[in-house]
Amino acid sequence: MAQGNRWNKVSASPTRTNGATLPEELTAEDLFTEAPAVADTALDEKLRQAYFWLVNRAVISPFYDVEFSAGSPVTFALGDAGAELNLPTDQSYSSNVLLPLLTFAVGGRCLLVGGPGRGKTTLAILMGVLAGSSPREVRRNVQQGQPQITVSDLVGMPLPRDLVTAGSLAEIEIAWRSWLTQPVKIIDEYNRIPTKTQSALLTMVAEGYVESHDQMHSTAPESGVESWFFTANDDAGGGTFPVIQALRDRMDVTVAAQGFNNRFFDELVARVEAGERPEDHLPAELVFGPDEQRLLEAAIRAVPLPGAVRRQLEFFASHFEFVQQGGRRFEYRTKDTVRTGGGEVAETIEANSGADLQVDLGSQTTNSLSVRSLQTLIRYAKAMAYFRGRPVVGLDDLAAVLPFALRGKLLPNELHPRFDVGADRELATDSISWLADLFAESRRQFTALGLAASDPISDALDLFNQGLDGVTSAQAASRLTGIESLISGIAKQGKLYGRHFDDLLALKYLHQRYTNYVSWLGFSG
Amino acid sequence: MTQRPLHVVNAGLELTDEPLPEVPELDLALSLSRIEALHGAAAGARYRHFLGRALAAQPGGDRDDLLTLATLAAWRAGAVAFRTDALRRLDAALATDTVRIPTLAAALGLPEHSVAAFAELQRGSRFGWPDLVAGGLVAVVGGFRGLFGPWLTPAVAVLAGDRPGTFLIRTAASRSGTAPAGADESTGSGDAWLLTVDVFGHTLTRLVPEETGSHPLAARWAEAGLSSSSPDEAGAPGATLQLAGYTAYLRLPEVAA
Binding-face residues of A in 446-475 toward B, CB within 8 A: 447, 452
Kindly indicate the confidence band of residue A35, based on its pLDDT and cuts at 50, 70 and 90.
Answer: low
What percentage of residues in chain A have a pLDDT greater than 90?
A: 52
Amino acid at A493: Q
Query: Given this chain, do its domains A95-258+277-301 and A307-448 carry the same CATH topology?
Result: no
Residue A271 has a pLDDT of: 83
Note the pLDDT of residue A138: 94
Chain B CB within 8 Å of residue A29 CB: yes
User: Which of A23, A31, A306 is opposite residue B31, by nearest beta carbon?
Assistant: A31
Does the distance separating the beta carbons of B182 and A396 come in below 8 Å?
yes
- Best of A31, A309, A445 to disrupt the B interface (most B CBs within 10 Å) is A31
| Average pLDDT score over residue span A72-86 | 85
Model pLDDT for residues A102-142, shown as the tens digit of each residue: 999 999 999 999 888 888 999 999 999 999 999 999 999 99
The mean per-residue pLDDT over the stretch A240-263 comes to 88
For residue A451, give the chain B residue with the closest CA: B186
Which segment of A15-24, A105-114, B27-36 scores lowest on mean pLDDT?
Answer: A15-24
Chain B residues lying within 8 Å of A84, measured CB to CB: 176, 178
Q: How confident is the model at residue A328 (pLDDT cuts 50, 70, 90)?
A: very high
Predicted confidence (pLDDT) per residue in B202-240, tens digit:
999 887 665 555 556 666 777 788 988 888 887 777 899
- In CATH, the architecture of A95-258+277-301 is 3-Layer(aba) Sandwich (3.40)
A22 to chain B, any CB pair closer than 8 A? The answer is yes
The pLDDT of residue A1: 40
Chain B closest-CA separation from residue A24 CA (Å) = 5
Using CA atoms, how far apart are residues B177 and A243, in angstroms rounded to an integer? 41
A5 pLDDT more than 80 = no
Chain A closest CA to B55's CA: distance in Å? Answer: 16
pLDDT in tens, B34-44: 898 888 889 99
Q: Does the CB of A77 have a partner CB in chain B at under 8 Å?
A: yes
What distance in Å separates residue A69's CA from the closest CA in chain B?
Answer: 6
Domain map of chain B by residue range?
8-124, 137-251
pLDDT in tens, A257-287: 888 888 888 888 888 888 888 899 899 999 9
For chains A and B, CB pairs below 8 A equal 121
**Average pLDDT score over chain A:** 88
Q: Is B110 within 8 Å of B9 (Cβ atoms)? A: no
Span A220-242, average pLDDT: 83
Would you say residue A288 has pLDDT above 90?
A: yes
Q: Is it the case that residue A372 has pLDDT exceeding 50? A: yes
Average per-residue pLDDT for chain B = 84
Average pLDDT (A41-56) is 88
As a whole number of angstroms, the distance between CA A318 and CA A125 comes to: 38
**Is residue A383 over pLDDT 90?**
yes
- Non-local CB neighbours of A467 within 8 Å, separated by 6+ positions: none
Q: Which residues in chain B touch residue A26, judged by CB atoms under 8 angstroms apart? A: 79, 81-82, 85
Inspect the interface and report whether the beta carbons of B176 and A31 lie closer than 8 Å. Answer: no
pLDDT at A524: 65
| Secondary element (H or E) of residue B167 | strand B166-171
Q: What is the pLDDT of residue A313?
A: 95
> Kind and range of the H or E element at A442?
helix A431-448
Alpha helices in A208-306 (DSSP H): 245-249, 265-274, 290-301
Asked if residue B73 has pLDDT above 70, the reply is yes
pLDDT score at A20: 47
The overall longest dimension of chain B from CA atoms, in Å, is: 60
**Cα–Cα separations (whole angstroms), residue B154 to A2, A350, B149, B242:** 53, 45, 11, 13
Report the topology of domain A307-448: Helicase, Ruva Protein; domain 3 (1.10.8)
Q: Does A79 touch chain B (CB under 8 A)?
A: no
Q: Do A25 and B84 touch (CB under 8 A)?
A: yes
Q: pLDDT of A85-107, one tens digit each?
A: 988 888 899 999 999 999 999 99
Lowest mean pLDDT among A42-56, A305-319, B219-233: B219-233
Inform me whether the pLDDT recorded for A38 exceeds 50.
no
Does B173 sit within 8 Å of A394, measured CB to CB?
no
- Cβ atoms of A368 and A334 within 8 Å: the answer is yes
pLDDT at A73 > cutoff 70: yes
Cα separation, A141 vs A180, in Å, equals 9
- Give me the residue from A19, A22, A31 closest to B71, CB to CB: A31
Q: What is the pLDDT of residues A436-487, one digit of tens each?
A: 999 999 999 998 898 888 899 999 999 999 999 899 999 999 999 999 999 9
Please, which pLDDT band fits residue B187 given cuts at 50, 70 and 90? very low
Tell me how close the Cα of B181 comes to any Cα of chain A, in angstroms. 5
- Res A37: pLDDT: 46
